[in-house]
Amino acid sequence: MDQQMDQKSMALSEPRSGCPGFTNKQGQYLAFIWAYGLINARAPAERDMQRFFGVTAPSIHQMVLHLERDGLIRRQAGMARSIELLIDHNCLPVLQPCHSVKTSVQRY
């Protein structure tokens, strides 16, 4: 059973044929951009990514610059929420939650 799980996790982390290579972290950012656009019908702002991933604004900006430099996304200068994916969404990994869900409901 453990061997099957190892094979599945390896298959998920390996790039699919015809898909560009990117790191796991880059894949999560790309998956977030795609999912955010699907849900909200617009591209995310860097602040939206910062809130989701729980990292600093400079970290988000550097990641966006790297994704753009690597040809995975495109942005329009001077235009807010202009991030556009340049790869097929079928190449993206499953978006993993970054934070535990916080609730004000008391447990029983």
Ordered domains of the chain (ranges, CATH): 21-91 (1.10.10.10)
Q: How far apart are CA 33 and CA 24, in angstroms?
A: 14
Structure confidence by residue, pLDDT tens digits, 26-44: 999 999 999 999 999 999 9
pLDDT at 40: 97
Which range is least confidently modeled, 19-28, 43-52, 96-105?
96-105
Cβ neighbours of 11 (radius 10 Å): 9
For the packed helices 46-53 and 24-40, what is the interaxial angle rounded to 10 degrees?
A: 120
- Mean pLDDT, to the nearest integer, of 45-74? 96
pTM summary value: 0.76
pLDDT at 62: 97
Q: How far apart are CA 104 and CA 33, in angstroms?
A: 29
pLDDT at 98: 78
Q: How far apart are CA 5 and CA 102, in angstroms?
A: 29
The 8 Å CB, 24+ separation contacts for 53-56 are 53/28, 53/29, 53/98, 54/98, 54/99
